[in-house]
Amino acid sequence: MTAEIENLPALSDGAFDDTISFTFSFQATDVDEIDLRYRQLLVRLSRFKHLNEIHAPGIIVRNEERMLRDALDQLVAESASVGLSRELGFVA
């Protein structure tokens, strides 16, 4: 799990949309859905790090880790459905 999180592409606000729009011609709904999944993943990651910093109870940390993993899986699945897995660094 940690290796997956550490290897996430770092994109600033708006850079994600620009990258896709310059490189690909997908429907806006596809890009919006992937952008939403990416932002959800970043929120989960931030919350997970915060819970670890404040030494939250283990059950809460494990639950957040599960939700983080689900968010990552959703992003990978969504990007694969529109053919962006390789471009976003999810496929070796």
Q: Write out pLDDT tens, residues 43-70.
A: 999 999 999 999 999 999 999 999 999 9
DSSP for 36-84 reads: HHHHHHHHHHHHHHHHHHTT--HHHHHHHHHHHHHHHHHHHHHHHHTT-
Give the total number of structural domains in the chain. Answer: 1
Tokens at 46, concatenated: 């931030």
**Model confidence pLDDT, tens digit, residues 5-50:** 555 555 555 555 555 554 455 566 777 888 888 999 999 999 999 9
Of the CA atoms within 13 Å of residue 74, those in its CB half-sphere come to 17
CB atoms within 10 A of CB 88: 19
Which pLDDT score, from 0 to 100, does residue 34 have? 85
Flag whether 11 is in a domain: no
Domain that residue 33 falls in = 27-86
Q: Is residue 13 part of a domain?
A: no
pLDDT given for residue 79 in this prediction: 80
Residue 79 lies in a domain: yes
CB 76 within 8 A of CB 7: no
Q: Is the whole-model pTM more than 0.75?
A: no
pLDDT at residue 89 tops 90: no
Cα-trace Rg, the chain: 14
